[in-house]
Amino acid sequence: MSMDEVLEFVEENDVKFIRLAFCDIFGQQKNLSIMPQELEQAFSIGINFDSFRIPGYDDPVYQDLYLKPDPSTLSILPWRPQQGRVARFYCDVITADGDSYPYDARKFLKDTLRECMQTYDLTVRVGLRSEFYLFKTDEEGKPTKEPWDQGGYFDIAPEDRGENIRREICLTLEEMGIQPESSHHESGPGQNEIDFKTSDALSAADHFVTYKNVVSAIAARNGVYASFDPKPLKEESGNGLHMRIAVLRNGEQGGTDKDLTERFMAGVYHRMKDITIFLNSRRESYERFGSNEAPRYITWSAQSRSRLLRVPVVRGKKTCFILRSPDSDINPYLAFSMVIRAGMEGLRNQETLPAPLDRSMRSMTEEELSAQFDRLPGDLDAAMDCARNSAFLQDGSCGDLTNRFLSLVEEREKA
C-alpha cells in the first residue's frame, strides 16, 4: 500500500490508535502509539523515540533515532476494540539525517536478502514450528510455575486444556494475514506447538514477532500466561523453534542446480558453532540441548528427525532443510540473517556436506559421538567465545553487529 492508500484505509476503518512496532536487539517487541493525524509525518520523516532506553539503540554517535513505518506491514489488531481500532506497522529505524540506523536488525535482514538475490539470484523462504508453555496465574494475575494442563504429545481434551486457546490464536493470526499450518499439544505439560507455512524470510520474521504478541495477548485474555522461555520447567521438554528453509532460484527450490540447496546447507552446517549465540541467546537455552530430542551434536540426516539438520524427502524430492537447534527467544531478524549469510558462504566456497548420520544415536556411546562429530556449544559463554573467534562473523559485514550483540548479552547476564 502507498502512503495515500494507508491514510485512506485508516480513515475509512475507524482507526484511532497506531502502533509503531520494532524489536530491541534481543527480539523483544517494543512500540510507540501515535494518533492518526501523526501518521503522515511518520511516513515522511519518522517519529522520534527515546532510543537510549532500548537495548541495541543506546548509541553515543546516533543519539536521535526515528521510527519510520513500513506501509506493507499494516495490520489491524483483532483483539483490540473494534470501535476506535488499533493498527500496527513494523518500522525501520533511521537517523536524524534520514539514513538507516546501521544496527537495525530488520535492515540487516533486508540487506542480507538483497545481497543473496544480487549475488546468487536466490530468494529464501522460511517456515517455523514454535513451542510455548501455558501456565496458570495466581489471584493477582501473576504467572505461576503450574502448567495449565497435564496433557502429553498430541493429546486431546480433557487432558489438553489448551485447544480452545490455540484455536483462538490461529483464527486471530489468520485474520491478520498470517497462515498457521497446524497446531497441537506438545510433549510437556501445558506445552503447545503452532506450525506455519513458509513465506519470504522478511515476512516470516515479522510474522514471528506478531505470533508471539498474539499468543501472549490471547493467553492473558484467557487468564493464563504464555512462556516462550527455552527451558521453563527443568525436568520437561524445552521450547524449540524449528526453521524450515527453502532456497529458490527462478521460483523453484534449487532452480536447475541440484547441488545448490546442499551447498547452502553445508555453509550453515560448517558455521553452526559460530552462529549458535544468535539462535540460543539465553543461559538456559543450553539446558535444552541433548534432552527430549533437542540436538547436541552437529549432524544431519534425511531419515532421522532428531538431527540438528534434517532434510525431509517428499515423494522422492528434497525441497528444503530443517534447522532444529533454535529456541523462540531469538531476534528473528538477526537469527535469519546469520543463517542465510552462513548459507551464502557455503555457496561462495562451493562447500559440501559430510556423510549423513543415519544410524540411531542411541546405539552410539558418547565417546563414539564425540570422536566423530562436533558438538554445539555447551553453554552461553562457549557460544559467545565461538562468535568472538569466528573469522566468518568478525572479518565481514557482520563484525560490528556481532560484537554489539555479544556485549549486550554480557550486560544482560550481569544484570
pTM, two decimal places? 0.95
Q: Please tell me which residue, 362 or 267, carries the higher pLDDT value.
A: 267
% of the chain surpassing 70 pLDDT: 98
Full set of structural domains in the chain with CATH:
3-103 (3.10.20.70), 111-414 (3.30.590.10)
Beta carbons within 8 Å of 220's beta carbon, 6+ residues apart: 226
Asked if 262 and 372 count as a contact pair (C-beta separation under 8 A), the reply is no
Nearest Cα to Cα of residue 296 among 376, 236, 218, 352: 376
Tens of pLDDT, residues 156-193? 999 999 999 999 999 999 999 999 999 999 999 999 99
Mean pLDDT of 369-383: 92
pLDDT at 256: 46
50-64, 304-318, 383-397: least confidently modelled range: 304-318
C-alpha cell at 240: 524449540
Q: What's the pLDDT band for 68 if we cut at 50, 70, 90?
A: very high
The long-range contacts involving 214-220, CB below 8 angstroms and separated by at least 24 positions, are: 214/79, 214/169, 214/172, 214/173, 214/176, 215/132, 215/169, 217/79, 218/79, 218/165, 218/168, 218/169, 218/172, 219/134, 219/165
Mean pLDDT of 207-227: 97
Nearest Cα to Cα of residue 21 among 8, 30, 9: 30
Tens of pLDDT, residues 342-372? 999 999 999 999 998 887 777 787 888 888 8
Distances (CA, A) of 275 to 305, 325, 335, 343: 22, 11, 8, 11
Q: Please tell me which residue, 323 or 61, carries the higher pLDDT value.
A: 323
Task: Kindly report the average pLDDT of the chain as a whole number.
Answer: 93
Asked if 104 and 195 count as a contact pair (C-beta separation under 8 A), the reply is no
pLDDT at 253: 62
